Structure 1
Amino acid sequence: MEILRFLKPKQKKQFISETDFIMNQHKQFRLATESLVSLRDAAVEEEDELKIDYFFYTDTLEKSQKIEKEIRKMNYVVNQEIAFNNKNLFIISGRTTEIRMMHEALRKWVEEMCALGYKYDCSFDSWKIVHEEKIQI
């Protein structure tokens, strides 16, 4: 019956494995801790609220459109484009609303973004806290 295998519907290829998700989540948690240490050195306190630029990528337009729709529900700025270095990848990027710069809040946000990416088979690739130094005159 292996001959008739081509008649079976094709299964969608998984872009992010569970192992990739877990490893990425650990990496993002470490980055959150390191970022908060740097912010404290720059006199940003726990009660301060800052926005975060974020980036996901995935391998199909359908997946990128689904995660984009979910991110819009969060009232975040969101953009979608084809990766310039790999036309088979889609980038979903944007900026959050303001988030308190305390460990618990940032860790929760990282956890939610990693889970959102995994749910829609997208990699939560990177993020950066937008901290603009105030110039005193």
Structure 2
Amino acid sequence: MGLFSFFGKRDNGQFVSAEAFGEKSAIQLNMLPELMEKLRELNVDEDRELMLEFFFYTNTHQKAGAFAQELSSLNYQVKYGVSEGDKKLFIITGWTTKVKMKDAVVAAWISQMCNLGYKFDCEFDGWGTMPDQ
């Protein structure tokens, strides 16, 4: 399934359906072991703390702005604007404060981001980091 195949134009303006939220959340959590293994290969152990880069999409400037403000209240560095790849979408991206690189801690953060995104009708599209911070 393609990145945005879960989403389509809905009469009520909703971007993320309940079904898509559940599926995308499961995908994000299922990818965690592989991503953590890659970090371990780069000598990032469980005690290390790294900032995480995050990516969300939504379908209106207002939703993107409201969600960016919510993420800023978590002391995250956030920016948002029109997506370069699709001018009908809005991207919200930025960096967290430092997060301990324990599998359970990162899994809890992913769940928090999926749930918070859904609350603001934004899709959590993933995360990344740089081990040499």
Q: 5+ unaligned residues in a row in structure 2: which ranges?
A: 1-10
Task: Return 5+ residue gaps in structure 1 as ranges.
Answer: 1-10
Which residue is 2:19 aligned to? 19
Shift of 1:12: 3.1
Alignment partner of 1:76 is 2:79: no
2: CA distance between counterparts of 1:31 and 1:65?
A: 28
Query: Structure 1 vs Structure 2: percent identity of aligned residues?
Result: 35
Q: Which residue number in structure 1 is paired with residue 118 of structure 2?
A: 118
What is the alpha-carbon root mean square deviation over aligned residues? 1.3
Query: Higher Cα Rg: structure 1 or 2?
Result: 1
Partner residue of 2:89? 89
SS where residue 50 of structure 2 aligns?
Answer: strand
Letter of the 1:14 partner, please give it.
Q
Counterpart CA distance in 1 for 2:84 and 2:58 is 13
Q: How far off its partner does 1:81 sit?
A: 1.1
Deviation of 1:125 (Å): 0.8
Deviations 1:102-134 (A, max 9, x none): 01100000000000110010110121122128x
Superposed displacement of residue 85, structure 1 = 2.4
2:58 corresponds to 1:58: yes
Which of structure 1's runs of 4+ aligned residues deviate more than 3 A?
Answer: none
- Determine the structure 2 residue equivalent to 1:28: 28
